[in-house]
Amino acid sequence: MRPGVLITEPFLKETVWGSGRLQSGWGKDMGPDSKLGEAWEVSCLDGGESGVLGGGPNLRQLYERDPAWFRGDEAPSGPFPFLVKLIATSDALSLQVHPDDGDARRLEGAPRGKHEAWLILEAEPGAVLYAGLAEGVGKAELGDALRAQDSDAVRGLLREVAVEPGQVFDIAPGTVHAIGPGLVLLEIQQPSDITYRVFDWGRVGLDGKPRELQVAKALDVIKESARPVPVSRVGTLSGMDGDILLRTAEFRLERWRVDGQVRVPVTELLTCVCVGGEGMVAALNDAPQALLRGRSCVIPRGVSMATFEGRGLDMVVALPPA
């Protein structure tokens, strides 16, 4: 039997910079003393696959059995088109950069790099992130500060951006970046985990040892001119209450709001993450399933119609590129 609406079970990842906010406000469970940093809500990445509510095959196994059911016969061949995470921070992430497709092939022999984007969901007062080098700063200055292992000097060379909920950041490959503390965000990315860690602020990992850096490769791929600016939306949806948040060559992000009932023709793969309110989702002739804050679902293209019903239901919807 081909799957209908799939409620996912995220792959949970403890990190040195994680916090308890995904447990306390987003329905995740990793134990009271864990430093849960990432919930991979929709993932077919090797070793980090999302499960499916009720057990059985994971999302990757279901997708690989019948990719045309998920994406359509005319869709490009290859893996599930993106990975969607929830991230919560109590400390800054490492300073890092990701390669583009060409650099990933050149440096790693990998088929693709890692383009990603963030939607800020929660931000403590004064929360910031780092996105690009400061104006007038080049890789040579950054390299000098890295060799000196000077955290303040490194931070001073970066473009610091104050953040607030609702902002979207398009983090193209080659953008040196670090997410700051006190944030909860949704991340969408290409299905790749290639990360070049540039600097880790002088701390150790969960195992008590310094984490590996890839400075030479990072300096190779950093684009000095990459300085993304936040946006709130790039357009509004027609036919339903919602916004177009971002369009890129690798993925799209939208935000849908439902008060009452909405029937949606399914003409492409849909991935929905509930970020507020509550409601139900059902494929045609299937029993409805609950959508709560922090719960995600995948709706294959082969499902001809989906019905959403809710009160204040607020969803971030990830889609393949148009």
In whole angstroms, give the CA distance from residue 19 to residue 40. 15
Q: What are the DSSP E strand ranges found in 150-241?
A: 158-162, 168-171, 177-179, 183-189, 196-199, 235-236
Q: Same domain, yes or no, for 54 and 152?
A: yes
Whether residues 206 and 250 fall in one domain: no
What's the rounded Cα separation, in Å, for the pair 42 and 274? 13
Please check whether residue 228 lies inside any domain of the structure. no
Alpha carbons within 13 A on the beta-carbon side of 39: 26
Residue 230 lies in a domain: no
**Is residue 227, in this structure, part of any structural domain at all?**
no
Residue 46 lies inside a defined structural domain of this protein: yes
Say if residue 202 is in the same domain as residue 255. no
Q: How far is CA 110 from CA 146, 176, 192, 216, in A?
A: 27, 20, 9, 18
Measure the CA–CA gap between 46 and 43, rounded to whole angstroms: 9
Among positive and negative, which fits the CA dihedral 197, 79, 228, 106? positive
The dihedral sign for the CA sequence 221, 226, 231, 237: negative
Q: How far apart are CA 114 and CA 6, in angstroms?
A: 25
> In the prediction, which pLDDT does 217 show?
98
Q: Does the residue 22 lie in any domain?
A: yes
Q: What SS3 class is residue 267?
A: coil
The residue from 177, 199, 221 where one domain ends is: 221
Q: Which of 194, 221, 248 is the last residue of a domain?
A: 221
Domain shared by 144 and 288, yes or no: no
One domain, residues 239 and 216: no
Q: What is the pLDDT of residue 284?
A: 87
Radius of gyration from C-alpha coordinates of the chain: 20
What are the φ and ψ backbone dihedral angles of 48, each rounded to 5 degrees?
-135, 35
Residue 152: how many CA atoms within 13 Å on its side-chain side? 0
Q: Among 157, 187, 221, where does a domain finish?
A: 221
- The predicted pLDDT at position 249 comes to 97
Residues 69 and 208 in one domain: yes
Other CB atoms within 10 Å distance of the CB of residue 244? 15
Q: Are residues 199 and 79 in the same domain?
A: yes
What single letter denotes the amino acid at residue 226?
A
Cβ-count burial 178-215 (b if 16+ within 10 Å, e if not): bbbbbbbbbbbbbbbebebbbbbeeeeeeeeeeeebbe
Q: In terms of domains, do 52 and 158 share one?
A: yes
Answer yes or no: is 229 within a domain: no
Q: Is residue 137 part of a domain?
A: yes
Q: How many angstroms separate the Cα of 51 from the Cα of each of 12, 63, 173, 205?
A: 11, 12, 28, 27
Q: Are residues 105 and 35 in the same domain?
A: yes
Residues 247 and 139 in one domain: no
1 in any annotated domain: no
Provide the pLDDT for residue 33.
80
Contact 176, 95 (CB under 8 A): yes
* Residue 270 lies in domain: 235-319
According to DSSP, the residues that pair with 253 across neighbouring strands are 246, 318
Number of domains in the chain: 2
pLDDT tens string for the chain (322 positions)? 799 999 999 999 999 999 989 999 999 998 778 899 999 999 999 999 999 999 999 999 999 999 999 999 988 889 999 999 999 999 999 999 999 999 999 999 999 999 999 999 999 999 999 999 999 999 999 999 999 999 999 999 999 999 999 999 999 999 999 999 999 999 999 999 999 999 999 999 999 999 999 999 999 999 999 999 999 999 999 989 999 999 999 999 999 999 999 999 999 999 999 999 999 999 988 999 999 999 999 999 999 999 999 999 999 999 999 8
Is there a single domain that holds both residue 47 and residue 184? Answer: yes
| Domain containing residue 246: CATH number | 2.60.120.10
pLDDT at residue 63 in the model: 97
Q: Are residues 244 and 182 in the same domain?
A: no
Compute the distance between CA of residue 123 and CA of residue 190 in angstroms, rounded to an integer: 25
